[in-house]
Amino acid sequence: MMVAMPTDVLLSTDKLTLRAGGTSLLEQLDWQVHAGEFWCVLGKNGIGKSTLLHAIAGLLPPAGGCVHSPEGDIAQATPRQLARWRGLQAQQQVDAFSCSVLDCVMAGLHPYRTGWGWPSAADREAALHALARLGMEEHADADVMRLSGGERQRIEMATLLLQAPQLYLLDEPASHQDVAAQQRVMHILRALADERHAVVASMHDINLAARFATHVLLIAEKRVWQGTVADMLRPEILKAVYGCDFDIVESAAGRWLMPASPPAQADRYLT
Amino acid sequence: MRRAILLLSFLALLAGLALVLSGLCGSTGCLSLNGDPDNIAMLLQLRVPRALTAFTVGALLAMAGALMQVLLRNPLAEPYVLGVSGGSAAGALLAMLLAASISVPRQNIAAVGAALGASLAVMLLFGLVGKSLRRLPLSAMAAGHRLLLTGVMLAAGFGAVITLVLTLAADAQLRGMVFWLMGDLEDSRFLPIAALIALLVLLWSMWNAPRLNLLARGESFAQLLGVPVVRLRVATLCAASLATAAAVTMAGTIGFVGLVVPHGLRLLIGNDQRVLLPAAALAGGGGLALADLAARTIVAPTQLPVGVITALIGVPLFLWLLGRSRA
């Protein structure tokens, strides 16, 4: 019997080693992301979640090892080839110039454009559709510099939806969002994964990850855990990652992981 | 797209009118095209070349300013901010100082000195920030700061050289030097070269305008959407420096055009580089041609330095634009 080629591997890392400044962040990470998977990257602040996303996106050359897209090592790919394979939503957006939200979102079409890129009616339609998915269609004519942080982040996500890569990378997509918007954002990411794309998002909210993701990558100082949500989101692993205890709260809506603050520390801040 | 074509046609019409007006009129009044050989000689030898020089210098400065603002992602950047003009001014004044001791004609040597000074400034700039230009800045905040601070420091250094030369110069030379610093559009010998450079910079920026639009939104953002950012930034810096050096070599340091024209246009027509860059060339050229016309005619026969006019018109105009914008 012929062995089927694993054509649905959208991202694989081969002994990927990352450093920032002098400190080592990740050592020899072997990791594969398949179509249809939604990975959440969890870990403490400064542990290397953003650095990992930047390295996968090709913005940052790794200290060792390599990152593969289905076409091969990304170090050999042109920026335009990469732009059709992956998109990254950065943690923060800093605007220097005014720009209308609609024009801003249509930048996502750049990897597919040849020539001067005057938008067609269909482009506008697509941008409006992406904005509507994020509940931002009323802001289409607004100036991006006048939006709130959460709204600005959703504009960035609409841009990413228009870019429509195979692999969606998002750096804390839920961090600036209100509770309802968090649900909306996570629903969209899960839908993208269900449409045979792959999603990798760094997160701080374990329960959001537990509800929407299929897999998690947990980064601690000495080691990394990777696997399905059910296997990995367990109190003992989480304690090793975050250094605090977790209680499991069962509810009708499902299982909640609740961080337990050590009483001594809580007292210190209360009195 | 229709709006862009209409807007650019309108600006081209205005710029053409400014050019015709500035070509026909001067300190002795306006000339009529009646076929008088004296009139034609005056037109072809004095006024038309001067008007074209003003137009070219204005276009170069405005384009350099627009490119610099995108490169540094700072709407307050201008062509002189990175020290290219300081370098060429220092070079020109040093050359004038040397020329006095070996008696060479002042005009020629000043231009050569200016060109050499500008290239020295660009080389210094690349030498000092080349490494950070080749790396992609991950934090959008800090991206242009290194380049900007290095340029400001270079400009300060050249400023000191200029002061030193002015101190050392003989009284007879001082007036010529000060006038060179204020900028004058009398010398049109470099017009063909400068016009060629202006055309090349315009073509280059129009070709790259979609990518510059993304660069204005952020270095990483542009790279993520498929723009080769490192190459584009180096090329943008080269284009802006070349335009600045050409303008300063030809006409000295005429202030304000490079800051006010692109920024004012951005407040009026938005920040789409596909429209903004050609519009800046037209408005900068037409604007400086008109400013030069005013400088020649307001207190004729005395000619005012054109830099005074650009500042006198530019300051209130800019403040008014800033006041009516929403941001």
Q: Encode pLDDT of A235-266 as tens digits.
A: 999 999 998 899 989 888 788 899 887 655 55
What is the pLDDT averaged over residues B286-291? 93
pLDDT digits (tens, 9 = 90+) for A51-101: 999 999 999 899 999 999 999 999 999 999 999 999 999 988 888 888 999
Residues A152 and A267 in one domain: no
Chain A residues whose beta carbon lies within 8 Å of the beta carbon of residue B7: none
| pTM for the whole structure | 0.90
Residues A215 and A257 in one domain: no
Does any CB of chain B come closer than 8 Å to the CB of residue A75?
no
**B227 — phi, psi (to 5°)?**
-95, 130
Confidence of residue A3 (pLDDT cuts 50, 70, 90): very low
pLDDT digits (tens, 9 = 90+) for B81-125: 888 889 988 998 998 888 877 766 666 788 888 889 988 998 898
Looking at chain B, the whole-number percentage of residues with pLDDT higher than 70 is 94
In a domain, A105, yes or no: yes
Q: Cα B95 to chain center, whole Å?
A: 22
Give me the pLDDT at residue A187, please: 95
Structural domain containing residue A35: 9-233
Of B89, B254, B74, B56, give the one whose Cα is nearest residue B146: B74
Residues A227 and A256 in one domain: no
Element at A33 (helix H, strand E): strand A23-34
Residues A43 and A92 in one domain: yes
Q: Searching chain B, which residue's CA lies closest to the CA of residue A119?
A: B1
DSSP state of B100: H
* Residues B1, B275 contacting (CB under 8 angstroms): no
Give me the pLDDT at residue A186, please: 96
What is the pLDDT averaged over residues B163-176? 87
Residue B87 neighbours by CB under 8 Å, 6+ apart: B117, B118, B119, B120, B121, B122, B124, B154, B158
Chain B residues whose beta carbon lies within 8 Å of the beta carbon of residue A81: 226
Give me the pLDDT at residue B164, please: 93
* CA–CA separation, B201 and A188 (whole Å): 44
Residues A49 and A170 in one domain: yes
In a domain, A33, yes or no: yes
In a domain, A1, yes or no: no
Using the beta-carbon criterion (under 8 Å), do B327 and A99 form an inter-chain contact?
A: no
Confidence of residue A5 (pLDDT cuts 50, 70, 90): very low
Residues A76 and A16 in one domain: yes
Which domains, from first to last, does chain B contain? 2-324 (1.10.3470.10)
* CA–CA separation, B87 and B81 (whole Å): 11
* Residues B79, B317 contacting (CB under 8 angstroms): no
Does any CB of chain B come closer than 8 Å to the CB of residue A118?
yes
Least confident of A36-45, B96-105, B108-117, B140-149: B140-149
Report the DSSP pairing between strands A86-89 and A245-251: unpaired
Does any CB of chain B come closer than 8 Å to the CB of residue A87?
yes
Which residues of chain B from 262 to 301 reach within 8 Å of chain A, CB to CB? Answer: 266, 270-272, 274
Does any CB of chain A come closer than 8 Å to the CB of residue B33?
no
In a domain, A3, yes or no: no
**B57 — phi, psi (to 5°)?**
-65, -45
Least confident of A106-110, A183-187, B262-266, B296-300: B296-300
CB count within 10 Å of CB A65 equals: 17
User: Which stretches of chain B are DSSP H helices?
Assistant: 2-24, 37-42, 48-71, 84-102, 106-134, 145-168, 171-182, 191-217, 219-224, 229-251, 257-269, 273-297, 306-324
Residues A156 and A256 in one domain: no
* Residues A188, A133 contacting (CB under 8 angstroms): yes
CATH number at residue A103: 3.40.50.300
Q: Cα B261 to chain center, whole Å?
A: 10
- Assign B174 to helix, strand or coil: helix
Cα–Cα separations (whole angstroms), residue B274 to A120, B4, B125, B169, B212: 16, 8, 28, 46, 9
Residues A154 and A89 in one domain: yes
* CA–CA separation, B35 and A81 (whole Å): 62
Give me the pLDDT at residue B268, please: 86
DSSP state of A143: B
Which residue in this structure is represented by tokens 């998690």? A216
Q: Based on the structure, what is the number of domains in chain A?
A: 2
Confidence of residue A2 (pLDDT cuts 50, 70, 90): very low
Chain B residues whose beta carbon lies within 8 Å of the beta carbon of residue A59: 136, 138, 220, 223-224
Element at A187 (helix H, strand E): helix A179-194
Give me the pLDDT at residue A95, please: 87
Does any CB of chain B come closer than 8 Å to the CB of residue A93?
yes
Quote the mean pLDDT of chain A.
Answer: 90
pLDDT digits (tens, 9 = 90+) for B2-23: 888 899 999 999 999 998 888 8
Residue B48 neighbours by CB under 8 Å, 6+ apart: B23
User: What tokens were used for A128?
Assistant: 């409006």
Does any CB of chain A come closer than 8 Å to the CB of residue B1?
yes
Please check the confidence at residue A269 and state whether its pLDDT lies above 70.
no
Residues A138 and A255 in one domain: no
* CA–CA separation, B68 and B89 (whole Å): 19
The angle at the Cα of B133, spanning B131 to B139, to the nearest 5 degrees, equals 110
Residues A255 and A165 in one domain: no
Looking at chain A, the whole-number percentage of residues with pLDDT higher than 70 is 94
What is the pLDDT averaged over residues A177-196? 95
Quote the mean pLDDT of chain B.
Answer: 86
Residues A250 and A226 in one domain: no
ipTM summary value: 0.89
- The minimal CB distance from A99 to the residues B223, B229, B271 is found for B271
Asked whether the bond before B301 is cis by omega within 30 degrees of 0, the reply is yes
Using the beta-carbon criterion (under 8 Å), do A110 and B74 form an inter-chain contact?
A: no
User: For residues B186 and A6, which has the higher predicted lDDT (pLDDT)?
Assistant: B186
* CA–CA separation, B214 and B226 (whole Å): 10
In a domain, A238, yes or no: no
Using the beta-carbon criterion (under 8 Å), do A96 and B73 form an inter-chain contact?
A: yes
Residues A253 and A158 in one domain: no
